Amino acid sequence: NLAFLRRLAPLGRKVVAGFGISTRAQVEALAPHVHAAVVGSAFIREIRSRGADGLYAAVRAKMQALAAP
């Protein structure tokens, strides 16, 4: 919840968010409010959909899709 993250800002602490993040739009929405976005399940889905042979390519493609241009 972005309102919660805005309330944390004055504390000056590092904030990491990570549940349910799977798209670049979600990362961009969080970026002004957190120091890092943790994307786990989205990588697991990519790996499962491409199989073990495409592990590196799956993770790299998802990272590029989530990263800022």
Instruction: Write the DSSP assignment of 30-48 as a string of letters.
Output: HTTT-SEE---HHHHHHHH
30 contacts 49 by C-beta, under 8 angstroms: no
List pLDDT tens digits, range 1-30: 788 888 888 888 888 888 888 888 998 888
Q: What is the pLDDT of residues 23-56, one digit of tens each?
A: 889 988 888 888 888 888 887 887 788 777 778 8
63 token code pair = 């990272």
Q: State residue 4's pLDDT score.
A: 87
Q: How far apart are CA 49 and CA 8, in angstroms?
A: 37
Return the pLDDT at 66.
83
Percent helix / strand / coil, the chain, rounded to 5:
60, 5, 35
